[in-house]
Amino acid sequence: MNSRPILIVLAFIMLPSTMIFGQSWKAEIGFNDLVSEKGGSLGDGAGLNVMQAEAPDGAGNYMPDVTVGEFAGKTFTEGSGAFGANNHGTLVARNFYGNSSSMTGGISSITGYDANNYIFNWLNALSGNDLNSTPAFDIGNHSYVGNGLTTAQAEDILERFDFVINRDNTLMVVGANNGSTSATPQVLTPSYNAIAVGRSDGGHSQSLTSVYGAPRFATSIVVPSAGATSFSTPVVGSAAALLKQAGAGTDFVQNEVIRATLFAGATKDEFASWDRTSTRPMDEVFGFGELNILNSYHIFEGGQFEGSTSDPTSNINDQGWDYGDFDGTKDLFYDFSIASGGNASLSAVLSWNMDIVDVNSGIAFEADRNLADLNLELFDSSGSFLGTLLDASNGSAYNNEHIFFEGLDGGNYTFRISGNSATDFGFSWNIQSVPEPSSAMLLGLGAIAIITRRRRR
């Protein structure tokens, strides 16, 4: 075990096997509906290259049990040298790339790492040295948390981690700690460029971050019925893999776009207390909401629409996305319409990376951080272009902005992206129009609403 001063802790609690291996979460996050809709045309993650870092057990084992039938036909690489099976890693792997237990059983190329080895030998954290090269992974899973560091040590790890994510265009998912009263870990949960995953029951760390930039809430998306955060995290990794495979050959594969798409597709109806503000783009506990792969896949299918630097001449689809370079000076606009007599709800997310520059590349890693400050606004343009501002997300502590708005009447609307910083960005939206019911149906619909739980899709 590396003697450097870090404590890697498993984000894991003992749970009944029915909770760990139950498949009810597939129905709850829309995966079963997506399979029914797409049939054999839906991908399974084949061709993607993924990594899984695990806190070693007492014997130093960090790899999943490669003899388990769920992993038949897969190729495993021991990135931290030859060690045996880790039970925790096996459970994580089932939800990430298990042949039938995950959403992406076609993933067949997996590299495993001892978490300490990954941090100290590959990222070269706390050494003062430059980063070592690792294979360019599509998706990475980190179901562990780290504490016991000084602020400077934690920030060195996080800077290197975010640098690699940006450099390699990897989508990294990291677990929050278990326990609603536990402090947000020092690593890797506060990462800007990764996705921090919690639980739909709120049983994860909820406090503000204490290192690496302005204090902020870190958990950005939650998963139902997957047990501990360790097993929720690979569900999001699997969803990201499904989207990345689907978007092959397009700008959709950029990690900023996939993050925005997962966040924009997340549902809020499960959480009576969910809220956001103009400066806090997500809920303090449940982030952008509960993962919904059906919504996110529909956003991908909606297609790419480039923002216009003037009044757009055409509308975007109800679901869609964009990837672009914001130059820090020219606002971008996206128009859409709601049919007369209808109403709609929308969820729109703008996401970009913390930009880390290694100013001593090849000698010793020295990070120069730049967190761009972008804004996302929604206007009612029915009377005139940018007629009335309806909502805004314009905080400076996060690298995401989010507008969630319900009750849009028929008319014309505009999104505006603005800011004073140049950066690449991903922008995704999910607009769901609902026809107004006739008066004869109102009583019946009201009665149904009493006895059913509505899920936004």
Q: Which domains does the chain have, with CATH numbers?
A: 7-246 (3.40.50.200), 300-451 (2.60.120.380)
Q: What local confidence, expressed as pLDDT, does residue 456 receive?
A: 39
How would DSSP label each residue in 235-289? HHHHHHHHHHHHTTTSGGGSHHHHHHHHHHH-B-TT-TT----SS--SBTTTBT-
The C-alpha angle 158, 160, 166, rounded to 5 degrees, equals 100
How would DSSP label each residue in 149-163? --HHHHHHHHHHHHH
Q: What local confidence, expressed as pLDDT, does residue 437 receive?
A: 56
Q: What local confidence, expressed as pLDDT, does residue 7 receive?
A: 59
Tokens of 146: 């780290």
Distances from the Cα of 241 to the Cαs of 103, 140, 344, in angstroms?
9, 10, 30
Q: What local confidence, expressed as pLDDT, does residue 447 receive?
A: 37
User: Which parts of the chain sit beneath pLDDT 50?
Assistant: 1-3, 11-21, 439-457
CB 421 within 8 A of CB 327: no
Q: 348 pairs with which residues across the strands? A: 403, 429
Distances from the Cα of 272 to the Cαs of 2, 9, 275, 286, in angstroms?
45, 32, 9, 11
Q: How does pLDDT run across 409-420, given as a tens digit for each residue? A: 999 999 999 999
Q: What is the pTM of this model?
A: 0.93
> How many residues are listed for the chain in this entry?
457
Could you identify the residue written with the tokens 């690496």?
A: 212
